[in-house]
Amino acid sequence: MMMESTPEESGRRKTSQLARELNAMAESIPLETSQGIEKRRHERYACKLKMTYTILSSVDSTPFEYGVAHSKDLSEAGVCIFTEHAIEVPILMQLNISLPMRPFHLLILAKAVRCKQCDDPGLHEVGLKFVGILPPEFKRIVSELAPSGPGSPAEPPAPES
């Protein structure tokens, strides 16, 4: 006799299927490596923004993991962040970025394209490429966040005590 699944079991199966589909999508987006040659189309601006992230797909962990990060720099195409956790590459992430000049947060979908251990053993530097449709005012927001100018160096945030 066949047993019917509970709504909870059905939800877990759907979540697992969604994670597999998102992971396949992340793997299909090509990684861009420059091998020492600057290939960026957009200027990067040093800015430290607080944000949270949600991992949307993963092979060895449960979907929808959550973390906290700070940005190192930002461009119209992506963001470099510092986080305490190593991030699997490639992987899709949803970023919830706090904006100092706005009362709302910015939600953006991004793909992790690189992750490396920082000199500080408690931090990892993660390069993220924005994917999908960005908010219409995004270019203006990036320019407002760039008071220090293009290419200004950004240091990892000091560990919080």
Residues 7 and 10: their CA atoms lie apart, in Å, by 5
DSSP assignment of the chain equals: -PPPPPHHHHHHHHHHHHHHHHHHHHHHSPP---TTS---SS--EE---EEEEEE---SSS-SSEEEEEEEEEE-SSEEEEEESS---SSEEEEEEEE-TTSSSEEEEEEEEEEEEE-SSTT-EEEEEEE-SPPPTTHHHHHHHT-TT-BT---PPPPPP-
Give residue 114's pLDDT band: very low, low, confident or very high (50, 70, 90): very high
pLDDT digit string (tens) for 33-87? 444 444 557 788 888 899 999 998 655 555 567 899 999 998 888 999 999 999 9
pLDDT digit string (tens) for 8-27? 665 556 555 655 555 555 55
**Residue 68: predicted pLDDT:** 93
**Residue 96: predicted pLDDT:** 93
**Residue 141: predicted pLDDT:** 83
For the chain, domains (ranges, CATH) are: 45-144 (2.40.10.220)
